[in-house]
Amino acid sequence: MSSFVTTQDGVSIFYKDWGPKDAQPVMFHHGWPLSSDDWDAQMLFFLSKGYRVVAHDRRGHGRSAQVSEGHDMAHYAADAAAVADHLDLRDAIHIGHSTGGGEVAAYVARHGLPQGRVAKAVLVSAVPPIMLKTDRYPGGLPIEVFDGLRAGLAANRAQFFRDVAAGPFYGFNRPGADVKEGVIDNWWRQGMMGSAKAHYEGIKAFSETDQTDDLKAITVPTLVLHGDDDQIVPYKNAGVLQAELLPSATLKIYEGFPHGMLTVNADVLNADLLAFVQA
């Protein structure tokens, strides 16, 4: 089934809830500027293994309300909590990709653990602790990178999204890449379902939110997965630092895998996710 939940600040959030309601829940958190559809391969896989699978569209994304306000990591986490609370998810595994990894870190640290709802967490190609170059993290990316994303989105969102999907997101710009047009089209479809304002303001949310404290607060076992050819979120500034900050982390770096590895390398990722969930 799929349905909607209304958050405390009145935002309608779309979610999917598939599988046995008494099974252990696995909740998926998507990346920018996509939707819960980006987890199709993982949701069907875990469903086939007997799990309850849940995913939602972030505010302003997919089928959720295109509201003007709240496009920041704190609201993203609170919206995820609204879904988890509404479905009364317990002993849950939370898996987040890219911006969704930041959402998982914020949700688990600020809501899930205090409420006793979380068993494990997984960060896939995730943005924490912070993408932006700062005094604390001098290895980050300069603000000009993110200003460029904003400029491209504002000038022609449709073409910008096409270029991201056809290029660096899946490594389709690499020599000899196995370019899949359906994957590009599906990325573009998901992006264009959402709100330009949510996507524009989401760039600040995923690049400038320092989540050091969130990571340090996550005491449950956490799996960190990153590709060493991630052209969107460089693994040395993300996955490696996450593993250092998390109290109970397992780090796996995949040689040659791109940012969108959960889609184009789903067979490998799914097996490793299942092994972690079952461990």
Task: Give me the active site residues, please.
Answer: 98, 230, 259
Residue 37, token pair as written in the block: 């559809």
CA distance 60 to 39: 18
Question: Which residues are CB-neighbours of 264 under 8 A, at least 6 positions away?
Answer: 170, 171, 178, 180, 183, 258
Residue 61, token pair as written in the block: 């994304």
Our CA dihedral for 129, 135, 207, 110, rounded to 10 degrees, sits at: 40
**Nearest-CA neighbor of 98 among 13, 196, 194, 203?**
203
Neighbours of 135 (CB within 10 A): 5
> Which helix or strand (DSSP H or E) is residue 277 part of?
helix 266-278
